[in-house]
């Protein structure tokens, strides 16, 4: 399995990092944002020296745009049902979770 340019691996790492950030921020607060290091390491490993073709670029843009739809709905639920939950933690963790899931679905097709 190649690592550079492997978008399934990248979105899988992003999904795992989002889940870890969600759990770590619930347990330890702002220190849980150190789980972001996993995402950055996946970004460096997969995207360095890799130029995606036109199809991959379009799928990455599509995953990012669909992420915003899911993220808007999740943030509305957090605002209405969980007013004590930290917005920044929710934005980071659920953004990464939704983008990871949508990206994996799009690249599995």
For 13-59, give the DSSP string: HHHHHHHHHHHHHHHHGGGGGGGHHHHHHHHHHHHTT----HHHHHH
Query: How far, in whole angstroms, is CA 75 from its chain's centroid?
Result: 15
pLDDT tens-digit series, residues 31-62: 988 888 988 988 888 888 878 889 889 988 99
Tokens 């691996």 belong to residue:
9
How far apart are alpha carbons 75 and 51 in whole angstroms? 33
Share of the chain above pLDDT 70, in %: 99
Q: What is the pTM of this model?
A: 0.89
Contact 94, 18 (CB under 8 A): yes
């Amino acid at each position: 399995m190649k690592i550079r340019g492997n978008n399934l691996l990248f979105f899988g790492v992003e999904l795992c990092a989002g889940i870890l950030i969600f759990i770590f921020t619930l347990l330890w607060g702002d220190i849980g944002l150190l789980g972001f290091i996993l995402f950055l390491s996946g970004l460096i490993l997969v995207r360095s020296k890799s130029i995606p073709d036109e199809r991959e670029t379009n799928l990455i843009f599509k995953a990012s745009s669909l992420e915003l739809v899911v993220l808007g709905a999740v943030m509305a639920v957090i605002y209405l049902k969980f007013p004590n939950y930290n917005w920044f933690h929710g934005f980071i963790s659920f953004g990464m979770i939704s983008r990871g899931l949508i990206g994996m679905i799009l690249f599995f097709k």
